[in-house]
Chains A and B, each alone.
Chain A
């Protein structure tokens, strides 16, 4: 009976999981070893901080991250003072003041990340009509998640023979349809690391993908911890109930 039910369940899962990769002709991104994988996976704080550095120095010039706020950076291991200093580097428009005027002030930890463009239209206008997607949920909004981000960042290549590209188009092995409007964003040595990690495209891509995974799912660690407790509790409860059921039914069969 349970075999039958779990078989049904597996079939359901398959039917659901298959379509995610069913579309597009792009290669499936290879799986990377993330510290966040597994039942008790956690984010690597040092990698997150490096990833934030890559995001803020490279990605943030085009990509917004409007669902996250500066105070969330405390999760990366920054102190309250550091978070405040990071936030203060940005300017937000607030108001109206007593005279009815809007005014600019330095961002506070409670503010959301400041977007590079005022709105979608401005972002598209500045980027040849292509909209740089918001990054707060990007890892969850792409099939393949962090693996896909890493693959995309490292998957730029010359187009295969016969594929002609227009101006402002680039070819990527992992992009669905292969053609995208984003130039290769990072290269070796572009961002300075203070902790001695290699300043390579590979390392930058790993770190920023890890960081984006965190922004998409900041409560992953709490979720897995709670999950383990809930699962173990239910497991023991199931055993106890099995005992109770056996005992109750003992005189029947």
Chain B
């Protein structure tokens, strides 16, 4: 076999390898991009996303009253706090808190406390929205599933829950309308 021939073979081999690699790369890229629509289709659909914000009229809620609204399939607690509750929430010493957060970080307007009403332990809905319901040892909310007690700022004070009740994104559109989400 002459040198020329060997060179020729080498060229052929390089070209062949190049072709194989290109084909393999194309196949891989094609399959990967093809997989995306299938995965993305499992994300929330447009109609679900359209429900991801709600507007709430808070004018009928008297001081000391709470309402529960449904947002993204979850209960949201909106409480018009009394002066005593605000005072209690603000005067609490950070040392006594498991999840250290001052009250002013949890409200935009101290009169209105807005939280997702889902216990941070295992996802039950705490009691305390209705006057007849137990409010726990700290005057806020009490989760009956495993006995977590939340204070008037929705912070965890006693029981197994690790975190304070979550504050969702919201803003006051004006004095009486709240946009959640």
Chain A contacts to B: CB under 8 angstroms: 69, 71, 109-110, 233, 236-237, 240-241, 243-244, 247
Q: Which residues of B contact A240 (CB under 8 A)?
A: 19, 22-23, 26
A69 touches B22 (CB 8 A): no
Q: Which residues of B contact A69 (CB under 8 A)?
A: 47, 50
In the complex, the 5 A-B pairs of residues with the closest C-beta atoms, listed nearest first: A110-B50, A237-B26, A244-B23, A71-B50, A244-B19
A247 CB contact (under 8 Å) in B16, B26, B47, B51: B16
Q: What would be 15 A-B contacts, judged by CB atoms less than 8 Å apart?
A: A69-B50, A110-B50, A233-B30, A236-B26, A237-B23, A237-B26, A237-B30, A240-B22, A240-B23, A240-B26, A244-B19, A244-B20, A244-B23, A247-B15, A247-B16
Q: How far is the CA of A243 from the CA of B22 in the complex (A)?
A: 10
Which residue of the partner chain B has the closest CB to A233? B30
Interface of B is mostly: helix
Q: Which residues of B contact A243 (CB under 8 A)?
A: 19
Chain B contacts to A: CB under 8 angstroms: 15-16, 19-20, 22-23, 26-27, 30, 46-47, 50-51
11 new A-B pairs (CB below 8 Å) besides A240-B22, A247-B16? A69-B50, A110-B51, A233-B26, A233-B30, A237-B23, A237-B26, A237-B30, A240-B19, A241-B23, A244-B19, A244-B23
Q: Which residues of A contact B16 (CB under 8 A)?
A: 247
Which residue of the partner chain A has the closest CB to B67? A98
Most central of A110, A233, A236, A241 by chain B CB within 10 Å: A110
Which residue of the partner chain A has the closest CB to B16? A247
Q: How far is the CA of A236 from the CA of B25 in the complex (A)?
A: 12
Q: How far is the CA of A233 from the CA of B16 in the complex (A)?
A: 21
Q: Which residues of B contact A110 (CB under 8 A)?
A: 47, 50-51
User: B132: shortest Cβ distance to chain A, in Å?
Assistant: 15
Q: How far is the CA of A69 from the CA of B47 in the complex (A)?
A: 9
User: B118: shortest Cβ distance to chain A, in Å?
Assistant: 21
Q: How far is the CA of A61 from the CA of B52 in the complex (A)?
A: 31
User: B67: shortest Cβ distance to chain A, in Å?
Assistant: 9
